[in-house]
Structure 1
Amino acid sequence: MVTIKQVSEKAGVSSATVSRVINNTGTVKEKTRDAVMAAMAELGYRHNVVAASLASNKTHTIGYVVPELHGSFFGAMMGGTEQALRQAKKHMLIATGHSDANIEKEQIDALLSRRCDALILHVEAVSNDYLVSLVHQGVELVVVNRYIEEIGENCISLDNTLGGYLATRHLLEIGHTQIAYIAGSLFKDDAINRLNGHRKALAEANVAYQEGLTYEGNFQARSGTDGIRALLAKGAKFTAVACGNDEMASGAMIALREAGRRIPEDVSVIGYDNIDFASYLSPGLTTMDYPVQKIGSMAAHWVLERVYGHNRYDYEHILNPRLILRGTTCSPE
């Protein structure tokens, strides 16, 4: 096995210089860096990550738990994290929790057993108390898309109640009063908070909330289609539908067209998340912007600052959503 000493002799520099090049620490002249890289390539040197981690007590690996790998939302979030970590020469291990408390705990334990230096957690089923206890045990972790007051400094999330409120307020402001709502899975905090925001906007406008105009989906497109079909099948009357995310909104649009309803002339539709495909629907989907890539990047910088001592980064622990107006909403005819 080729050693750092052999690389240093080949490049004509000290072993300390080779170590700085490998770990991307300290200042090394570009000419010197090129000489070290050339020597490593010629000798076939491979950095022994295990040995280095034992010496430094750091693996330079961050564990990431997400509910699933399906859809654009999680890809955008993880993409924001991966880009920031890659630039810092760190690595990411991804695990899925499937919104099941036991699986989420198993995945967290598995990542910690692999000596991850920190965890980024988008978990939906484990309790707040469990996450608080991890922090108190000294586990370096940041929770995304969920706010827990006791460990607020470890959380980066969106104000989903405000988002649900703003979405429905937009429909009310353009004249709708018969507003259906397709919610995400109502055991999840973000789905509950968005529905609460919807109800708050109705109450503020003195419009009665009707249980019969609400359908519980599961954040996937098919449940948006199923929701509209179910509402129409029971004769529900509505001129607009607010959806808990863009995927369900896209599914709702399919079902509305199947039923001969024009969008937005007959029924206005608003989504939530502003994922990539929202602007490519026809018409483009009016939605609430969820800066998910920014949240992913912030989570990475939280880890880089707290665990590796990188430069201080300005965080927004609770971000505000904003309305994105496109072509799926208009005043009722």
Structure 2
Amino acid sequence: MTTIYQVSELAKVSLATVSRVMNGNSRVSDKTREKVLAAMKELGYRPNLTAQSLASNRSNCVGLLVSEIHGPFFGQMMSAVETELRAAGKHVIITAGHSDEEKEKDGIEFLISRNCDAIIAHVEAVSDEYIEGIAKEKTPMIFISRYVASLADKCISLNNEYGGYLATSTMIKHGHKEIACIAGPQSKADAVARLAGHKRAMAEHNLPIKESLIYEGEFKEIGGVLGLEKFIKSNDNFTAIVCANDEIASGVMTYAREHGLHLPDDLSVIGFDNVVFASHLYPKLTTIENPVDQMGQMAAKIILRDVYKQQQDEIQHFYSPTLINRDSIADLT
């Protein structure tokens, strides 16, 4: 079996240098790193990860807890986290909490039991008190898409209230006054904030907020289908729908076409998140950018800085959403 000593002899470097290369230490020059990697390849050397972990007290693995494994939103998040950490020689262990309190807690305990060096958690069901408690544990944690004031330096979050405000304000600027809203589940903080932003924009422009034109649905296409069905049956007049995410908007657009509505002439629609399929809908969906990929990348950067002591550029904890203007809003001005 090839040993680290043989690698150091072939590469003509010290054992400490070989160890730094294997641990992703940035204090090794590119030329030296290439020599070591070439020697490892030539000798067929594979590091004993268990021994490395015992020697360094590091597993070089980061846990990632997301609400769901499926769907474009979490796909973007997982990809961004994994890409950033893999480039630094770290691996990711992923599990899902399914927006359920006990499953989120179980997911965190699982990742801790796997000796992850740190955990990035997207949690929706556990309380702020639980988060404050678990943050005191030995395993460092970063919370993404969640803000807890006492843990601001461990949180990366989006201004969801402003995003909801921006979506509805955009409809109003295009001349729409009768605006329906399909909100996400009000058990989730981001959905609550987006609905609050919608109501603030309506109030700011002295437009009535009709409870019959507000529907609480799932963050899935079915939420959009059931929401639009409910609005049509209510016989209220509305020319536009603000949707809490792009999947809801997709459901709205499908149901609208199936019932003879022309988009956006008969009904204008705006989404939230700007997931990958938003620009492929017809008409192309106007939406609010949720930079979840940047937030995932930033969570990884904080872990690399704080846990692995790797130099990072400026760290950002709070993001502001922006408008992505496409073709799904008719101008009534």
> Please, what TM-score do these two structures have when normalized by structure 1?
0.95
Corresponding residue for residue 222 of structure 1? 222
What does the per-residue CA deviation read over 1:154-210, in whole Å, with 9 as the maximum and x for residues that have no partner?
Answer: 111100000001100111122211111111111111111101100111111111211
Alpha-carbon shift at residue 317 of structure 1 (Å): 1.7
Q: Which residue of 2 aligns with 1:140?
A: 140
Q: Which residue of 1 aligns with 2:124?
A: 124
Distance in 2 of aligned mates of 1:69 and 1:329: 31
Name 2:112's counterpart in structure 1.
112
Letter in 1 for 2:28: T
Give the aligned partner of residue 61 of structure 1.
Answer: 61
2:179 match? 179
The reply to whether residue 48 of structure 1 matches residue 80 of structure 2 is no
Contact 1:182 1:214 in 2 (8 A): yes
| 1:27 aligned partner | 28
Tell me which moved more, 238-247 or 4-13: 4-13
Once residues 35 and 313 of structure 1 are traced to their aligned partners in structure 2, the CA distance between those partners, rounded to angstroms, is 28
Query: Partner amino acid for 1:286?
Result: T
- 1:212 is aligned to 212
Counterpart AA for 1:164: G
Cα distance, 1:139 vs structure 2: 3.2
Q: How many percent of aligned residue pairs carry the same amino acid?
A: 47
Partners of 2:232 and 2:35 lie apart in 1 by 71
Do structure 1's residue 162 and structure 2's residue 162 form an aligned pair? yes
Rounded to whole Å, the distance in 1 between the matches of 2:177 and 2:11 is: 75
Residues 231-284 of structure 1 show CA distances to partners (whole Å, capped at 9, x for unaligned) of 212323211000000111011011111221111111110000111111111111
**In 1, Cα distance between the equivalents of 2:136 and 2:178?**
48
Q: Distance in 2 between matches of 1:93 and 1:262?
A: 45
Counterpart check, 1:307 vs 2:310: no
Cα distance in 2 for residues equivalent to 1:240 and 1:160: 20
Q: Mapping of 1:274-293 within 5 angstroms?
A: 274-293=274-293
Cα distance, 1:55 vs structure 2? 1.1
Corresponding pairs, count: 332
2: CA distance, partners of 1:77 / 1:15: 37
2:288 and 2:322 in contact (8 A); partners too: yes
The secondary structure found in structure 1 opposite 2:307 is helix
Whole-angstrom distance in 1 between the partners of 2:330 and 2:211: 24
Structure 1 residues 206, 35: closer, same or farther in 2, change over 3 A? closer
Q: Distance in 2 between matches of 1:168 and 1:73?
A: 22
Is the 2:17–2:28 contact (alpha carbons within 8 Å) kept by the matching residues of 1? no
2:89 is matched with which residue? 89
Structure 1 stretches of at least 4 aligned residues deviating more than 6 Å after TM superposition: none
SS at match of 1:41: helix
Distance in 1, matches of 2:231 and 2:292, equals 31
Instruction: Point out the more displaced range, 57-66 or 227-236.
Output: 227-236
Deviation at 1:45, TM superposition (A): 1.8
User: Could you list the per-position Cα deviations for residues 72-125 of structure 1 after superposition, in whole angstroms to 9, with x for gaps in the alignment?
Assistant: 111111111111111111111101000011111111011111111111010000
Distance 1:169 1:21 in 2: 52
Cα root mean square deviation, aligned? 1.7
Query: What CA distance in whole angstroms lies between the structure 1 residues aligned with 2:216 and 2:236?
Result: 15
Contact 1:265 1:332 in 2 (8 A): no
1:235-250 equivalence runs, <5 A: 235-250=235-250
CA distance in structure 1 between the partners assigned to 2:14 and 2:148 by the alignment? 49
Aligned CA distance change for structure 1 residues 286 and 52 (closer, same or farther; 3 Å): same
- Structure 1's unaligned 5+ residue stretches are none
Distance (Å, rounded) in 2 between the aligned partners of 1:35 and 1:268: 59
Taking a change above 3 Å as real, the CA distance of residues 329 and 28 of structure 1, as seen in their structure-2 partners, is: closer
> What is the SS of the residue equivalent to 2:156?
strand
Shift in Å, 1:29: 6.2
Q: State the 1:218 CA deviation.
A: 0.8
Cα separation, 2, equivalents of 1:34 and 1:177:
63
Moved more, 225-234 or 46-55: 225-234
1:38/1:312 CA distance change after superposition, 3 Å: closer
What SS class does the counterpart of residue 92 from structure 1 fall into?
Answer: strand
The TM-score, its normalising length taken from structure 2, stands at 0.95
Cα separation, 1, equivalents of 2:198 and 2:145: 19
Q: Does the C-alpha gap of structure 1 residues 15 and 164 become closer, same or farther in structure 2, counting only changes over 3 Å?
A: same
- Offset at 1:40? 2.6
